[in-house]
Structure 1
Amino acid sequence: MSVSKTEPGELVQGTLEMLILKTLALEPMHGYGIGLRIEQMSDGVFRVNAGSLLPALSRMERSGYVKTQWRSTENSRRAKFYEITAKGRKALQQEKEQWGRRITAIARILEA
């Protein structure tokens, strides 16, 4: 995952999975759609390549955070669609709470 349009970089471990879960909380999607949605929601700041996205989706499926189903896309092609599970929603909520605490702590440090 790239952090900006001009400077590629790494996000904190686990961030990609949180962004995927948030995206899937809106609606089930195929992998390409997930990457596009994350890029759109971040105004192009985050671009997810398939080399990062597909392994993350695989890990999340094994963890029970997402389930999959083969369906037709809007272009009548077959694709694997990912859907967040109840376990995934719980994990997303916990991650959001942890990020809130981290952001607050970082802001306090930067303001010191």
Structure 2
Amino acid sequence: MDRIKKQLKKGTLEIIILSLINRKEMYGYEIIQKLEQASDGFYTLKEGSLYPVLYRLEDSGLIESYTYQQEGKRRVARKYYRITEAGANQIQSYISGWKEFVHVTNKILRIGEE
């Protein structure tokens, strides 16, 4: 079962990250925290798993990044990610495809339950 969960997580990561960034511009560590919180711990990512996904989304033109340095004691520059127009459009396509996938999968898994 763990193998199946791992494959499902990997297969849904891009749409989930894109959806989070669509709601709010975020930096990498913030994405990790929000993802874990929103999924009640189901999705626990390390930076080494997150950044390749972010780079793919950015290379595809679905998100873009910018650096922002906050004023204050630490003055840490963070790389933030925001959705592009193409990314916002892609989310709708992903959601439609996801709904179809879930519907068909549920239909198949229910074979023999009648």
Shorter-chain TM-score bucket reads 0.7 to 0.9
Which residue pairs with 1:62 in the alignment? 59
Q: Counterparts of 2:80 and 2:26 in 1: how far apart (Å)? A: 5
Q: Deviations over 1:51-79 (max 9, x none)?
A: 11101111111111111110136964211
Q: Measure the CA separation in 2 of the matches of 1:90 and 1:64.
A: 11
Counterpart residue identity of residue 30, structure 1: Y
Q: State whether residues 9 and 43 of structure 2, in contact with CA within 8 Å, keep that contact through their aligned partners in structure 1.
A: no
Query: Secondary structure of 1:83's match?
Result: strand
- Which secondary structure does the structure 1 equivalent of 2:7 belong to? coil
Answer with 72-81 or 40-49: which moved more: 72-81
Q: What is the number of equivalent residue pairs in this alignment?
A: 107
Partner of 1:9: 6
Change in Cα spacing, 1:13 to 1:47, as seen in structure 2 (3 Å) is closer
User: Residue 104 of structure 1 aligns with which residue?
Assistant: 103
CA distance in structure 2 between the aligned counterparts of 1:32 and 1:46, rounded to whole angstroms: 13
C-alpha separation in 1, matches of 2:70 and 2:91: 26
What are structure 2's unaligned runs of at least 5 residues? none
Amino acid at match of 2:76: R
Is the helix fraction higher in 1 or 2?
Answer: 2
Identity of aligned residues (%): 33
In structure 2, C-alpha distance between the alignment counterparts of 1:66 and 1:29, rounded to whole Å? 11
1:83 aligned partner? 82
Q: Give TM-score, length-normalised by structure 1.
A: 0.85
Change (3 A) 1:93 1:83: same
Choose the corresponding residue for 2:35, options 35, 38, 57. 38
Shift of 1:11: 2.6
Alignment TM-score, normalising by the size of structure 2: 0.83
